[in-house]
Amino acid sequence: MSNDRVLNICFHGVGEPQRELEPGEDVYWVTADRFAAILDEVSTWPVPVRLSFDDGNASDVEIGLPALVERGLTAEFFLLAGRLDTPGSVDSAGVAKLRSAGMPIGSHGMAHRSWRGLSAAETTAEFDTARTVLAEAAGAPITTAACPLGRYDRRVLSALRDRGYTRIYTSDRRPARSGAWLQPRYSVRHHDTPASMRSGVLAPAPLPARARALAVGTVKRWR
């Protein structure tokens, strides 16, 4: 892996959910023990790793934050503005805890819906209103975003760039260039272990798999 590459690792929920999950969302929840083991694994890799959390679950603050602080690690937390201060999600006090621990805050939008095909009003809510709500909670500008459900297209990226977002994270499961505006990530899934992360993320993928992942990303950017 060249020196300008980075592996982006994304967590979602940890432990027992404290809210009703959306269909298919359980795939991205891991036990607290599994989370700790994977965190220990990726923190020892001999390549740059960036950590992030999506969806703004309460476990971000209750489980994720203490584990990061204990290990001297930093992660970026992409919060859903529409879930802020709702049961099972990060509340305003939690945002303050993340910020005081030096954790950056990014936007995951307002309503955890695909950003493809939004109306003008929905685009404003997802890209503008959500950022304003989160900036007020964080006490700092929100300049980065993560695409919900891993879905985006040329129109989405153009709208985000026009609004001055400095970095956009996806779920395209391939390495990223450290300084690139678009950052693919590997989402941790419920069946992942330290061994599967080593073999599936750290180890170079076979050439056909790399070509397939690159093609998928290209199609998403240009459709």
Instruction: Note the maximum CA span of the chain.
Output: 46
pLDDT at residue 156 greater than cutoff 60: yes
Average pLDDT, integer, range 100-113: 98
Q: 42 near 186, Cβ under 8 Å?
A: no
pLDDT-based confidence at residue 109 (cuts at 50, 70, 90): very high
Say how far apart CA 25 and CA 21 lie, in whole Å. Answer: 6
**Average predicted confidence (pLDDT) for the chain:** 93
Residue 30 makes CB contacts below 8 A (sequence gap 6+) with: 11, 13, 14, 38, 188, 189, 190, 192
Which domains, ranges and CATH numbers included, belong to the chain? 5-222 (3.20.20.370)
Helix, strand, coil: what percent of the chain each, to 5?
45, 15, 40
Say how far apart CA 43 and CA 163 lie, in whole Å. Answer: 33
Average pLDDT, integer, range 33-47: 97
